[in-house]
Amino acid sequence: MKTKNVLLRTLLLVLTVPVLIACQPDYSKHIEVLNDIDASTQYSLYEKLDDMDNSKPIKSGDLGIEFVQCLENYSNEWNPGEAKEKYYLEINGYKSKHYYTLRANERKIESISLWEEKFEYGFRDGKPLLKVSCSLNDLKG
């Protein structure tokens, strides 16, 4: 009986661990962005995608230390609530440009997602959705 319990526990562990590992989000793209920016990196913030195409940001300037620290303190957002506001952030990194969709409520950023790809007429939003705790006011400019 004891051997049977040990075998069942072992089997359960062997079957569960790969599932848990497979559920871990891939943060590598976001980490690449973090390695390509600092507080003096330039950004442009847009309220609409059309504004991005027409180079009409609502705010631009240096990211600032507070916002960079916010980007560094992220976790996976498994169950995002409804965001009333959506913004589009273009970051001019040292090696390349990076694009995020920011989901916010009353200018408080709830979650962000890095774009996988930007097209002429849109973008493909990436995964994972990252939970952050910062404000649009943390952006300098």
pLDDT in tens, 45-88: 999 988 988 899 999 999 999 999 999 999 887 766 788 999 99
Residue 57 exposure: Cα atoms within 13 Å on the Cβ side: 13
Where residue 12 falls among pLDDT bands split at 50, 70, 90?
Answer: low
Specify the pTM. 0.79
80, 124, 133 from 129: Cα distances, Å: 8, 13, 13
At position 46, the amino acid (one-letter code) is Y
